[in-house]
Structure 1
């Protein structure tokens, strides 16, 4: 930074620094929002499924569907367990359906990359 002697140039430098600070804060807020979005449980599951697909080389829809169904089943077993209650079994089946559908749907970042 250069030495400034006049009040006008000092005020101009202050304005420039405030504009720069505002831009940097906006960038930080955008970064935090992106991190929050990536840390949502559904996105963590989706990212894990995508990494498994890339690592193992699953390219077919059948393999991706099988993984989605498996994750849905695990979610049902994790939440409901082995219950004899009809209500819990219905709730577990609905949960399995919802989780399977959410995991199998492509999300925004996949659309942007394609």
Structure 2
């Protein structure tokens, strides 16, 4: 940086730096919002399914549907487990349906 010898130039430099700081702060806030969106459980599952599809090469709707159903089933087993309670069974089935539908929907 060059040396500033008058007040007008100094004020201009200060204004430029303040503008730069505001722009960078807005950029940081946007990045944080993107990170928060990506860390939501549903988005984590969707991103994982998409990465698996890209890595393995699943292009057919049948393979993607099978993965969605599998993830829904795992969600049901994780939350409800093996229970003989009818209410828990119904709740688990609804959860499985919801998770399967959410995962299979495009973003």
Normalising by structure 2, we get a TM-score of: 0.97
| Structure 2 residues without counterparts, runs of 5 or longer | none
- Structure 1 Cα separation of the partners of residues 20 and 54 of structure 2: 40
* Residues 50-78 of structure 1: per-residue CA shift (max 9 Å, x gap): 11111111100000000000000000000
RMSD: 0.7
Whole-Å Cα distance in 2 between the matches of residues 31 and 80 of structure 1? 36
Query: Equivalences for 1:17-96 in 2 at 5 Å?
Result: 17-96=17-96
TM-superposition CA deviations, 1:72-94 (whole Å, max 9, x none)? 00000000011111111111011
Q: Number of aligned residue pairs: give it.
A: 107
Extract structure 1 runs of 4+ deviating beyond 3 A. Answer: none
What TM-score comes out, normalization by structure 1 length?
0.91
